[in-house]
Amino acid sequence: MKSKLEKFIELCNAIKICDRCELHVTPLCGEGNLNARIMLIAQSPGKRENLCQRMFVGPSGEVLDRLLEKAGVNREDIYMTNLVKCHLPRNRKPKQREIEACSNWLEEEIALIRPEILVPLGFFATKYLFEKNGIELPEKRKFHLVYGKLIWTGKIKIYPLPHPAFLLYNPQLEENVMRYYRKLAVFKRECKWRPVCPMTRYYREGKLDKKWIELFCKGDWESCKRYQAEEKGVWHPDNMLPDGSIDKTLS
């Protein structure tokens, strides 16, 4: 039986010789922690990434490193990859047929790494994951509203973020974008109260919808009203849901 690392090396070798579309020059495989809970999905390698055959080593990589450092996340904590594996000439937008030809590689990476949360960076990676999972896309002028919102599809969690390159052109918005990136530190682990929390018991007993566990206990536990009450030592009833509402059917 092959190890995860062996399977990953095999996958990368297959990606490197891919000629499924006309872009095929130097496809770049993803990199990072193969057991990561968080998978960052960018659009495509930039010029420098293409030259060095490494993820995020160009100007947007500098921005990403700054955002991750401020958030308290290391590159070793995450896995990073691209929707389209080859550099796009003159940094043009990817064509639909290129995304269709290439996205099978991304699906193979997701199946192998099995991250808890997919984090698409920017429009194209977010659009791809939304369409794939049957999530309605907002109109383009309202697209920014999807950033920083954790979504549970019933199978996987998606947390869209602005691409770091966005800040190269809009540096004044770094503090706003940083608020979204900060959640990555939360997603690195599950809620510490999970083993003793009544929500865990209710879920095991089949009384609680899985979405509460996914969105809060294994997702954004920092926003959970139960977690916040526990941290402050404030009494709260066992049937209080993570959003603070009361479910009288729970006992």
List of residues 6+ apart from 102 with CB closer than 8 A: 18, 20, 21, 23, 83, 84, 85, 86
What is the total residue count of the chain? 251
Q: Is 227 an interacting residue with respect to ligand SF4 (CB under 6 A)? A: yes
Q: Is 242 an interacting residue with respect to ligand SF4 (CB under 6 A)? A: yes
In this structure, are residues 41 and 30 in contact, taking their beta carbons and an 8 Å threshold?
no
- Residues from 177 through 196 that contact ligand SF4 (CB under 6 A): 191, 193-194
Looking at residue 247, its amino acid is D
User: Contact region for ligand SF4 (CB under 6 A) — 56-64, 94-102, 134-142, 224-232?
Assistant: 224-232
Q: Is 199 an interacting residue with respect to ligand SF4 (CB under 6 A)? A: yes
CA distance 184 to 145: 18
Q: Is 208 an interacting residue with respect to ligand SF4 (CB under 6 A)? A: no
Q: Is 150 an interacting residue with respect to ligand SF4 (CB under 6 A)? A: no
Q: Which helix (H) or strand (E) holds 82?
A: strand 78-82
Looking at residue 86, its amino acid is C
Helix 96-113 vs helix 4-16: angle between axes, to the nearest 10 degrees? 170
Residue from 161, 197, 208, 214 that binds ligand SF4 (CB under 6 A)? 197
CA distance 251 to 237: 10
CB of 238 to ligand SF4, least distance (A): 10
Q: Is 215 an interacting residue with respect to ligand SF4 (CB under 6 A)? A: no
Residue from 123, 124, 202, 221 that binds ligand SF4 (CB under 6 A)? 221
Q: Is 226 an interacting residue with respect to ligand SF4 (CB under 6 A)? A: yes
CB of 17 to ligand SF4, least distance (A): 44
Residue ranges binding ligand SF4 (CB under 6 A)? 191, 193-194, 197, 199, 216-217, 221, 224, 226-227, 230, 242
